[in-house]
Amino acid sequence: MRDKPLANEPIRPRKKGSERRRKFRRIRRNFFVAFLIDLVVVLAAALVLSLLIKTFLIRSFFIPSGSMLETLQIDDRIIVNQLTPALYPIERGDVVVFKDPGGWLGPAFDEPTDPLVVTVDWFLSAFGITAPDSKLHLVKRVIGIEGDRVICCDEEGLITVNGVPITEDVYIAPGQAPSSIEFDVKVPKNSLWVLGDNRGNSEDSRFHGDLPSKGFVSNDWVVGRAFVISWPFENWKLLDNYPDVFKNIPDPSN
């Protein structure tokens, strides 16, 4: 075997085609590596940004029941402003999402334990694609805030807040009365009195007076105010808090 050519034996040049193929493979390999790195960086940045937005600004929930018909349909997806009530006060008429104050949702249901399912749910929820914990929350309309006295009902069958009757037909499901259950409550400090728009089929503040919460929802349990229906597209709309319904209500301190 010869380690090098003889002095009088010419060195054979490499074939140009073979050299070009090697260069192309190197370029292609580097291109795909660079592409994969860029893709990972973009996805990681998007995930971090989405987590920050979800944690501090807005969050998506789906509607699992018909307690807010006709305002919200079953399986609608809503976007919630989480700066309420931390930075912005909750107002009468707001549609709010809150955690179960205790006993409102009945017996706890089993959550998925399969690691793959849990991981996929977490990943998709981080991007706002799914909301796996929606069934652990409730969505209702605020009727009374701290200090309000809320009574059902006056001689005309209307709910009164601080002595002023409110006409709610702009959001109550058609054909339903404001309430078939009588109540007379004063909303304690840092709390809310909430009702579903589908008054004939809503397990709201009226039904939980026997619980430790007495039917009130502490502001500490509020995730935020729902402000838009984002999906399905045909149901898209901004959620109104109907200020005209509550405009004549005096301050509870008066």
Q: 82 in the Ramachandran plot: left (φ > 0), alpha (ψ -120 to 50) or beta? A: alpha
Catalytic residue, chosen from 125, 140, 202, 230, is 140
- The structure tokens 């009365």 sit at 177
Catalytic residue, chosen from 67, 179, 191, 202, is 67
Q: How far, in Å, CA of 62 to CA of 54, rounded? A: 15
What is the total residue count of the chain? Answer: 254
Q: Respond yes or no: is residue 67 known to be catalytic.
A: yes
Catalytic residues: 67, 140
